[in-house]
Amino acid sequence: MMSLDNNNNIKAILLIILGMFVFSIQDTLIKLISDSINIYIIYIIRSLVGLIVIIIYCMINNIKLTLKTYYPWITFLRVSGFFLGFSLYYFALSKISLPEAVTLFFVSPFFVTISSKFIIGEDIGLYRWNAIIIGFIGVYLVLDPDFQNFNIYSLFPIFCAFFYALTVVIQKKTSDKDSLFTQIIHTYLSAIFFSIIIYFLVNNLTFTPYQLSEYNFILMSWDIPNLYFFSILLIIAITGVIGFFAIFGAYRIGSPSTIAPYEYSLIIWSILFGYLIWNDYLTIKGIAGLCLILFASFFTLYREYQLSIKIITDKPIR
């Protein structure tokens, strides 16, 4: 007879896989419309829908919401890092393949481990340092840099992973007083706030034709061409909310060390969608690099579990 814990873990694994599937749909749709819709319109629509759903959810479940944070300065650092990181990631989607972007983002557990040492004083043993080194060797293979003609945008998902790791560790530090939903609302509100600031900054500057073409995803006018694109924006927003609740539900009922590795199913979905839609795929070196990243990540998760450390394993990757 299956135990309650095992049954919950199976449900949690299914939720994680669902969450990663809808996140891959979100990333795919963002890439598809990156030449037609400004990135910050996507941010605003997604954040507004997310806020509405979170508020309704908390009202139904009698969860008290508060905007007050007990850590104003590091909360500002957290939301700023999150916004900057995913701005770089979504912009990278307009410049590099979906499989490459997603694979490179998954170096975030290594940055979480490194950041935890300097921010909260977590000890990192020799085994985990070796895993980090192996992981970054994998990153090098995925990038396969041609220094004569290097695509700088390939680095953006790695920058995103770095900023994301900082937000995870900061969130760990602030979670003793700031609730999960308070931190999520801060993230959504800051995304709207920063997007509006960027709108006014961009509209008061002059750009060359090259800049307008190269950075079109950021600099294009804030228009929604028709109902078709508006529908895609809503789907992006809804998938983001579904993804969050799926992952939140998974970590609420399941064992983090058991379910965390299944977040890497996002890579599989992204490789599949990238190939079917754009005929994108990883090179042989890229596949070898992906294998090293996965090996190092799973080993890091295993060591976290052995040492009873809950920095990586109790926080979703997205």
pLDDT of res. 122: 66
Kindly state the average pLDDT of the residues 297-317.
Answer: 59
**Mean pLDDT across 271-278:** 93
**Residue spans per domain, the chain:** 4-306
Shortest CA distance to 105 belongs to which of 290, 250, 304, 282?
290
Lowest mean pLDDT among 76-85, 135-144, 201-210: 135-144
Q: Is the pLDDT of residue 9 over 90?
A: no
Half-sphere exposure for 214 (CA within 13 Å, toward CB): 8
Rounded to whole angstroms, the maximal C-alpha distance in the chain is 68
- Which of 2-6, 148-152, 158-162, 248-252 is the most confident on average? 158-162
- Closest to 139 measured CA to CA, from 285, 269, 284, 31: 285
> Residue type for 111, please?
F
Q: Taking Cα atoms as reference points, which of 198, 196, 253 lies closest to residue 44? A: 196
End-to-end CA distance of the chain: 34
CA distances from 109 to 89, 135, 244, 302, 317 (A): 16, 10, 18, 12, 8
Q: Say if residue 56's pLDDT is above 70.
A: yes
Q: What band does 305 get if pLDDT is binned at 50, 70 and 90?
A: low
* 234-265: pLDDT as tens digits: 999 999 889 888 887 887 777 666 677 788 88
Q: What tens digit of pLDDT does each residue of 24-52 get?
A: 999 999 999 999 999 999 999 999 999 99
